[in-house]
Amino acid sequence: MPRLMRSDRVRVRSQAIGAMSSQSVVERLRDQWRGSPPVAQLLESLEAYAGGNPLDDCAILAECLTSTATARRLLSPLIDGLCAALRDHPFAHVPLRHRFARGVSVLELVRSAGASMSLVVYETAAFDGREAAPSIAFADEERHELCLSGAGSGRIATVVGEREDRVVLDVRSLAFEQQSILAFDCSSSRIIDRVDGHLAILRLARLPQSPGPTREFRLSDGRLLHCASGCRRDSRDEMAVALLGRMNRRDAAEPLAAIACGKGAEHLRWQAVRNSLALDSLVGFAALEVLVGKDGDELSVPAAKLYRQLVEQYPELARTEKQPCLT
Amino acid sequence: MKHLSIDLNSLPGLDTQQGLFGSIAQSINASLDDRVLVVMTYLYEAS
């Protein structure tokens, strides 16, 4: 790469400084908005809601989710201010968590622990050339939504019965319009099929302490299509366990055995015992024996099955001296 | 006993296998996407 001439370096540096000051403009705007008395009160209310209080006990938050006038009054200074600032500073980044994909925008306005308030905007482009969604996902969270502006149509689905690999869904059509108020939990969800121009929704979401899995079902027959962990911490730990296994870190076998015999999520613990076995068969086998003997543990049955498989495949394992599992 | 080499792929997963957090495409449900990255730091000590 050719070296930059002095004049180029000065120009690049001044552009960098310019970008930094642009960014500080939008960040200052955000901080001023968050520090304003009505938003500070909203944050307090959100904190109480995140702490487990029912929405009805969090007056300002509840009002914001039921009155478009209140919501607009709170959001306008931020949205108007950011739009004006971004026009003046086009290289600045929106200083809030955000996402834009295929006509759907999400802007996380405020967050407190597991509770967050976001602005979600659907544009017509999100539905151009797209067939009606064949499936619907149910996340383990509580959600309240208020349509701020625009209109659209969609479906609301509720799980009314569960069978082995499928659920019974009650699906109803719904028209979204300004001031529509919706509430969902782990067994209810919605799909938007079409919008007229745009549809802006204010969303309040709260995750439980240990969220259960998110499940996706086919709408036509309720069949389970996919199940994903609802807890990012568990998934992160599961990835770390898998990586240590792939790195062949034998010194990780004992800590993994301890995770397997601990109190974590069952998928994480199962990955830990598998990788512990692969890294150090003696340590992993000792952990497996502990799991087999744990009455009431959800892993005791699959552990017993794996134990029998291993003893048949490697009879010498059953003859080894018992090693204590670190818990 | 000598350490046995057990192939990880020969060890079954759970019947209730589940994907990682965020592995359901939620474009229609419009959530923020946290799949992006996990940063891990490994410390090695010379002994």
Phi-psi region of A243 (alpha: psi -120 to 50; beta: other; left: phi over 0): alpha
Interface test with B, best of A141, A274, A282, A321 (most B CBs within 10 A): A274
- Is residue A152 within 8 Å of A199, Cβ to Cβ? yes
- Give residue B19's pLDDT: 86
* A 194-233 residues inside an 8 A Cβ radius of B: 213-214, 216, 226-232
Determine contact: B43 vs chain A, CB below 8 A. Answer: no
d(CA B14, CA B22): 19
Closest CA to A308 of A327, A292, A284, A322: A292
Q: What secondary structure letter does DSSP report for A184?
A: E
d(CA A216, CA A119): 24
* A137 vs B8, B13, B24: nearest CB: B24
- Among chain B residues, the shortest Cα distance to A301 is held by B14
* A226 vs B12, B24, B28: nearest CB: B24
For chain A, 327 residues long, give each residue's pLDDT as a single digit of tens.
456 666 676 676 666 666 668 899 999 999 999 999 999 999 999 999 999 999 999 999 999 999 999 999 999 999 999 999 999 999 899 999 998 888 889 999 999 999 999 999 999 988 888 888 899 999 999 999 999 999 999 999 999 999 888 999 999 999 999 999 999 999 999 999 999 999 999 999 999 988 999 999 999 999 999 998 888 889 889 999 999 999 999 999 999 999 999 998 999 999 999 999 999 999 999 999 999 999 889 999 999 999 999 999 998 888 765 555 554
ipTM summary value: 0.72
pLDDT per residue as tens digits for the range B15-33? 887 888 878 765 445 555 5
